Amino acid sequence: MSYSIGTPPFQLYGMIDTGSDLIWFQCKPCKQCYNQTSPMFDPSKSLSYKTISCTSPTCIRNVEVVDCSNNNNKTCEYKYNYGDKSISQGYLSEEILTLTSNDGPPISFSKILIGCGHKNNLSVDGKISGIIGLGHGSLSLVSQIGSSIGRKFSYCLVPFFSNANMSSKLNFGDAAIVSGTGTVSTPIVQGKFRTYYATTLEAFSVGNDIIKLENSTFGLDKMGNTIIDSGSTFTHLPIALYSRLESAVASIIKLKRVPDPTQQMSLCYKTTSKKLNVPIITAHFSGASVHLNAVNTFIPIDHKIMCFTFVPHKDFPYVVFGNIAQQNFLVGFDLFKNSISFKPTDCTKH
C-alpha cells in the first residue's frame, strides 16, 4: 500500500495486514534493518514528527511493556512481534498520515500513532517500508481513522501469478461497501484477541465430502475459530483438520504426487499443464459459503510442480485464512455492522 508520512509528505510502501494493529516503518538512523530499496523516512526532516513520553497515558495504554528506567531520553518504546518471527522495535510517535483519494486531493490525518522502527526484521525485502496494521485493535489504521471512513474497508487481491500488470485495490469508507450479486457475509465474532477479525467456519466441502468443524476434535472453539488474515500467505489449519481436508482433495486429483522443493507445503503434484484440474473447495462460514477455485488453493512452484496452499500447523488452535485463499474476491470489512463480506470478482478488472 502506498501512503505518505510527515511534513512535507514522504512516500512509503506498507504491507497491509488484517492480523496486526501497529502502523510502523523503518526510520533513520536504522541500527538493525532489513534491506529496503525505497528511500527510508528520516524523522528529523519532518516538521510534524513528535515523540511520546514513556510515562504518558498514550504510551502506557498502547504499549504493553514500557520500561522508562533503561530509557535515557524517556521516549515511548515499542517492540512488536509477528507469527513468522518478524519484529519491529523503535519509538511510538505521532505523525501526519496522508492517503490518496479516488475523487479528489489527498486526505491527511493528523496525530496518527505510528512506530518509527530502528531495529526491524521482516521476512520480505524490496521497497516495502514496513507494515500497515488493519486489525481490530486501537492502534490500527482502521481504528485510528475509523470515524472518517464509517469503519469500513475492502480490498481485492490480484492473483499473485497473474500476468496482468495490475495493482490490487484497497478502499476505505463508502467505496468499500461490498454488495450485489454473489455477495455473501459472515459475522465478526469478538474473540479473546481483539486484534483479529475472527469468524466461525462450520465446515469445508470437497466434492461429496463434508468436513464439519462442529465438534472439538480439531481443538477449535465453536465460535470464532477462524481469522481472516491478509498478512498470511497460506491458509493454516490444525493438524487433524488439515489431514482430513488433504485426504479429501488427494482422493479426487489423479496425478503423481511429488515432494515440495521449498519444503513448505505437504501436497504437491507433477503437472505439464499451467492449469491444474482441481476440485472446488467450499469454506462454509456462518451464513456464507465461499467457493475456492484453483487460484485460491494451488500455486506453481516451478513449471512442472503445483502445491496445495493449505498447510498444517500445531502452534495455535484456530484456522488462519490467508491471502492466497482471498485472491479474486472483493473482501469487505464493516466494523459498524460487524461483518465480513466476500464477492467473487476478477480483481485484475476491479
Q: What does the pLDDT look like over 206-225, one tens digit per residue?
A: 999 999 987 656 666 777 89
pLDDT confidence bin for 194, thresholds 50/70/90: confident
More confident residue, 94 or 61: 94
- Residue 272 confidence (pLDDT): 76
The confidence band for 61, taking pLDDT boundaries of 50, 70 and 90, is confident
Find out whether 117 and 301 touch, Cβ atoms under 8 Å. no
- Domain residue extents for the chain: 2-148, 178-344
For position 273, what pLDDT does the model report? 72
Mean pLDDT on 125-154: 93
> What pLDDT score was predicted for residue 70?
66
Q: Answer for the pair 225, 201: CB distance below 8 angstroms, yes or no.
A: yes
State which CATH number among 2.40.70.10, 3.30.70.20, 3.30.450.20, 3.40.50.300 fits the domain covering 2-148: 2.40.70.10
CB-based contact 19:28 (threshold 8 Å): no
Instruction: Determine how β-strand 169-172 pairs with β-strand 23-26.
Output: unpaired
Intrachain domains 2-148 and 178-344 with the same fold: yes
In angstroms, the CA 190 to CA 120 distance is 30
**Type of residue at 80:** Y
What does the alpha-carbon distance between residue 66 and residue 32 come to, in Å, rounded to a whole number? 21
**pLDDT of amino acid 8:** 97
Tell me the CA end-to-end span of the chain in Å, nearest whole number.
16
Weakest mean pLDDT among 59-63, 71-75, 168-172? 71-75
Record: fold of 178-344: Cathepsin D, subunit A; domain 1 (2.40.70)
Q: pLDDT for 321-349, tens place per residue?
A: 999 999 999 999 999 999 999 999 999 98
CA distances (Å), origin 8, targets 41, 44, 55, 117: 11, 12, 29, 20
How confident is the prediction for the chain on average, in pLDDT? 90
pLDDT at position 108 is 96
Active site (catalytic) residues: 17, 229
In this prediction, residue 337 carries a pLDDT of: 95
Q: What's the pLDDT at 219?
A: 64
Residue the block writes with cell 521516549: 75
Is-above-0.75 flag for pTM? yes
Across 53-57, 312-316, 323-327, least confident range: 312-316
Mean pLDDT of 228-246: 94
